[in-house]
Amino acid sequence: MKPSVEEIVNNPRFELLDRLSYDRVLDFASNYIRKQSRPMQFFYLSLLAMLALLAGAFLVGIFLRERTSLSILKQYGYGTIISFTAVIPIHEIIHGIVYFLLGARKIRFGAELKQFAFYAVADKFVTKKTGFYFLALSPFVIITLLNLAGFLFVPGVASYTYISVIFFHTTMCIGDFALLSYYDTHRDKEIYSFDDVDNRMSYFYYKKN
């Protein structure tokens, strides 16, 4: 059974690995973005694949489907706007739904606008590695698949909007992959994490062998 916050904090078998203030999310993420970890390698390969899809669809649209470059670029522009407006709350709502499915009930949403960072957290809810991977990857997988379906099945030039959303949403997932990079960097440890919303802190403990 998963331990509670009190059992982790008060048990000498658990040791504090890191504490993360919401005010320094960007610094924390930047450190693990630079790691040559498996999650970051997957992220950059995915981003490269999305960029190739974006460019390839543009060329196919012009040379094989007789689209004008202006019409495709206009749809790409719509996708950019949608990505940085509507998709952001959808991304965080997916995080919130996953938290709920994992058993959390005190779920909160917030933003650090100076860092352009948005988050969903569950107050005093302990997450193990498997749950954290599920939590971090769900928005990337769900939004990518839904928009890929839109590109494949929506007729006309409007389908190109979906590819743009896929690409720009992928770039926005870099924070989630940075946290996965943190877990991968410490993959030799059994990590338990939880948030203290009142104090605006996230804690990462590991269980000693």
pLDDT at site 130: 94
Instruction: Output the average pLDDT for the chain.
Output: 95
Q: Where are the domains of the chain?
A: 23-189
Give me the pLDDT at residue 22, please.
Answer: 92
Rounded CA-CA distance 149/25 in Å is 33
**pTM score of the predicted model:** 0.94
Running along the chain, 209 residues long, what does each successive block of 10 average in pLDDT? 92 96 91 95 96 94 91 96 96 97 96 88 96 97 97 92 96 96 96 96 94
Residues 127-160 pLDDT 10s: 999 999 999 999 999 999 999 999 999 988 999 9
Identity (one letter) of the amino acid at 128? K
Give the separation between CA 87 and CA 90, rounded to whole angstroms. Answer: 5
| Three-state SS annotation for 149-169 | HHHHHCCCCCHHHHHHHHHHH
- Report the 10 Å Cβ neighbour count for 200: 14
Residue 77: the pLDDT is 97
